[in-house]
Structure 1
């Protein structure tokens, strides 16, 4: 989901094919990359500030979101493109290989990075990647995704979000959804939201990881699940991924956005996970 969290670090820009990437660097020490999609760098700022005490922390707006502008606004955002962007950023700041912590669509980006650019990453923490192709009911979920994307693009914003939360098995009362996504809203947030529905959601959730390649990779892969996410769609996809990789999922505080809601607890758990590796 999208958030509206302020940044606390200075802005930098890297020119890459087809885009100009906004990124931020904090701290000093081993490199940790915090990646979202569609979440931007601002969503990770509290967690990044905590980790920067003893790490170099890289955050970025994914291409087409907020301050990362595209040459072609109609370009789809695929995991492969976002992985290539992360690889270029890691090479640019010359502090890798990195630990890459990705959440939601950012977890899919991180897995694609490990799959296609393994030289840039020595560990991935994939927190609740929405990989519906790993589930037996993938056809139903694809159909639901097509319906909610069509509803959004036809102008039924609130209805699309209601369908989204229902498919994600996230219980939010309808009046709350109407309050969150109806009426006057921030123009930038709406633009990023529309891009997610139109150009990012399908390519991200329909992506199929090469499990054989990832299992044989020297990159350590940790699959994260939220302690409060039991039964939700991303809990199911994460557990399916862990099973496909021959590992057990690792619990993190909170739910799908635990790193936003409880950054201190999330950082503490993340440090333990990194130290165990």
Structure 2
């Protein structure tokens, strides 16, 4: 595997940055590692575990290097799926394998529903697909409340509520969205509103991602092998429960991966999962 080489791709409404770690001797499909709103930086450690094949990472629209060229305030899974479709086409390497985590898993499932011919295997890790949960109304309301809190009070209060939501285990209470959020300072978050409203998580993606209606009929009919993954340490959390529900809708069972929602991280963004064990599990699934 070579050092990553950075490329850009013009897409409607954005310029995408992506990095290619080439291994010209590999006959395996290109491995695309994606998240949302996590960018390429989050997959540095995981990429290093797959030096025997070509690995591609990218920054989704509005994230890190991939600046938007339109004035839209929301990014949708369908837009992200179209971006991925264009990126895979630009790679011109045939069907790829994809590991997609969190919102990236939602976007990759949308891609497969539309363009299954572009993806050999998709490992979708903990997609926060709230629409399939039995407590969907509470989950969706909480997501809307987080976004509205951001618009009203700024990043700190919104992110504090987000952390409270994603860490909650079990069914979300009926009054969850009405509860007063925790003190942002408890999480090291800013307590002052800086006036910006362009955060990609609580501003641009949280409602469109959690509210997305997946085309399960298309996914079940797809030529792509779809594997749903869930963290061993995140049982009961919204994204884990959604992964179990999505797998059920596909007629499969989720594969348990080491760690929690960020099990693949090796210190990126200050978070450390179990990257060695996680990479070994991913390799076993991709064989």
State the TM-score bracket (shorter-chain normalisation).
0.7 to 0.9
Answering whether residue 11 of structure 2 is matched by residue 11 of structure 1, we say no
- Cα distance in 1 for partners of 2:119, 2:230 equals 21
Pairing 1:81–2:79 present: yes
Matched residue count: 262
SS at match of 2:167: coil
User: 2 CA distance for matches of 1:75 and 1:161?
Assistant: 18
C-alpha contact (below 8 Å) 1:38/1:192 kept by paired residues: no
Runs of 4+ in structure 1 deviating by more than 6 angstroms, as ranges, are 190-193
Q: Deviations over 1:159-211 (max 9, x none)?
A: 3223222222348xx678634322699x9xx9797132122111111111111
Cα deviation for residue 37 of structure 1 reads: 0.4
Change (3 A) 1:191 1:117: farther
Q: 1:3 corresponds to which residue?
A: none
Output the CA distance in 1 between the equivalents of 2:197 and 2:253: 34
Correspondence for 1:150: 148
> C-alpha offsets along residues 197-247 of structure 1, whole Å, 9 cap, x if unaligned?
122111111111111111111110000000100111111100000110000
User: Does 1:42 find its partner at 2:23?
Assistant: no
Report the secondary structure of 1:168's partner residue: helix
Does structure 1 conserve the Cα–Cα contact (< 8 Å) formed by 2:4 and 2:22? no
TM-score by length of 1: 0.88
Alignment of 1:14-163 (within 5 A): 14-28=9-23, 29=26, 30-51=29-50, 53-163=51-161
Kept in 2, the 8 Å contact 1:148–1:160? The answer is: yes
Partner of 2:282: 270
Conserved? CA contact 1:26–1:49, under 8 Å: no
Q: What's the TM-score once normalised by structure 2's chain length?
A: 0.85
Change (3 A) 1:71 1:149: same
| Matched position secondary structure for 1:133 | helix
> Distance between the aligned counterparts of 1:43 and 1:191, measured in 2?
24
CA RMSD in angstroms comes to: 2.3
Judging by fraction of residues, say which structure has more helix.
1
Cα distance in 2, alignment partners of residues 118 and 55 from structure 1: 21
Q: Which sections of structure 1, spanning at least 5 residues, go unmatched? A: 1-7
